[in-house]
Amino acid sequence: MPGGFRPLLERRYVLRMTEILAATEAGIARAALLLRAGVLVAFGTETVYGLGADATNERAAAEVFAAKDRPRFNPLIAHYPETDAAFADVLPTPAARELAARFWPGPLTMVLPRRPASRVALLAAAGLETLAVRVPAPPIARALLSAFGRPVAAPSANRSGRVSPTTAQHVLDELNGRIAAVLDGGPCAVGVESTVLDLTREPPALLRPGGATVEEIRAVIGSLSDGHAQAVQNDAPRSPGLLVAHYAPSLPVRLGAETVGPDDALLAFGRQLPGAGAVFNLSPGRDLTEAAARLFSGLRLLDADGTARGLAGIAVMPIPLTGLGRAINDRLRRAARANPADGSVVS
Ligand code: TXA
Ligand code: MG
């Protein structure tokens, strides 16, 4: 922004709004600095604008879901400046290497097994053993990713249930005041989301059609099953993230616990119930963003600890159904359904 006089009132107002960063060296450096500080920065890719967060920071990932008003913790795509950086967080199959050589940088996202050493936050990948990775094409996006030096988790930069933004102005229309900044890379060249391929299956499955066409992909890897068409046929939810089996604890899960005993591993929220055999408190201060950030690690810790100590199950205290609480409750209901405490089979 050129220097010069701006009335004080306006300047105060501007401080509370989302910063618009120009695609200059200074703008990119500022965007990287904000990401490092754990706040959200939208940036243009060739497909749509992404709502970027430090993928290694659970709290920043939680802020993404809060800013989007997402009712569920869908797994996010991790973005990298180049193929080697992406493959440092996942285990590439031979087909994945061929696809990377052909399509990256470009509008293709690959779901691959996550490396145990991956630094990507559990919440960013919705607790899954797989991780979706992609290398976007625009030089500005790649410059940001290089400058930042860590994976960037980025869903499309729209509020939940709205269309994906393809200009910086669209992002502001959706998220002004909810995110720290938007790096203006101009309009997106492709304008539809990336193609999502699941390479953990044989043959690989198309989870979402997008910028890289099925014909182009088949030309590289031969056969490709249509996970997207199967989902539509089975009337499954349209989001591919819902097709995969999300992490479920091995211990039975009981929701809405009002009392607990020595046989219970307690997932607490707020002031914790007395008498449990093990406790993990999501947020003693009842902060839903903190609770979201700690949800997957808490479930895993209690599952491991409770199993080691021979406890009967995980008891979860009630969590309010407001803001991020909706996504937290959605996730917990899935965990309870996968392994109900009363042993019943729920379809
Ligand atoms: O073009 C794009 O892909 C844009 C730009 C910003 O990169 N991003 C985007 O993100 O569209 P999002 O969150 O709106 O969509 C990502 C899709 C979701 O449908 C999600 O379920 C799926 O990818 N996905 C992510 N990780 C997955 C995983 N581990 N397994 C299966 N599906 C996954
Ligand atoms: Mg989206």
Identify the nearest ligand to the CA of 193 by its number.
1
**pLDDT for residue 284:** 98
* Mutational test site, ligand 1, from 196, 201, 242, max ligand atoms within 8 Å of CB: 196
Angstrom distance (rounded) from CA 254 to CA 315? 5
**pLDDT for residue 343:** 62
Instruction: Report the separation in Å between the CA atom of 125 and the middle of ligand 1, taken as the mean of its atom positions.
Output: 10
Q: Would you give per-residue pLDDT tens digits along the chain (347 residues)?
A: 444 444 444 444 444 689 999 999 999 999 999 999 999 999 999 999 999 999 999 999 999 999 999 888 999 999 999 999 999 999 999 999 999 999 999 999 999 999 999 999 999 999 899 999 999 999 999 999 999 999 999 999 999 888 899 999 999 999 999 999 999 999 999 988 999 999 999 899 999 988 898 999 999 999 888 876 655 454 444 444 444 445 678 999 999 999 999 999 999 999 999 999 999 999 999 999 999 999 988 998 999 999 999 999 999 999 999 989 998 998 899 888 877 777 654 43
**pLDDT for residue 14:** 43
Angstrom distance (rounded) from CA 181 to CA 297? 29
Q: Indicate whether residue 152 lines ligand 1 (CB < 6 A).
A: no
Give the atom of ligand 1 at the shortest distance from the alpha carbon of 157.
6
Q: Indicate whether residue 74 lines ligand 1 (CB < 6 A).
A: yes
CA triplet 149, 151, 157: central angle to 5 degrees? Answer: 120
Give the atom of ligand 1 at the shortest distance from the alpha carbon of 192.
1
Instruction: Report the separation in Å between the CA atom of 322 and the middle of ligand 1, taken as the mean of its atom positions.
Output: 24
Count of C-beta atoms within a 10 Å radius of residue 225: 14
Identify the nearest ligand to the CA of 245 by its number.
1
**pLDDT for residue 230:** 59
Sheet strands side by side (includes 41-44):
19-22, 181-184, 41-44, 49-54, 152-153, 77-79, 130-134, 108-113, 195-198, 205-208
* Mutational test site, ligand 1, from 47, 76, 79, max ligand atoms within 8 Å of CB: 76
Instruction: Report the separation in Å between the CA atom of 108 and the middle of ligand 1, taken as the mean of its atom positions.
Output: 10
Q: Indicate whether residue 52 lines ligand 1 (CB < 6 A).
A: no
- One-letter amino acid for residue 61 of the chain: A
Instruction: Give the global pTM.
Output: 0.86
**pLDDT for residue 15:** 46
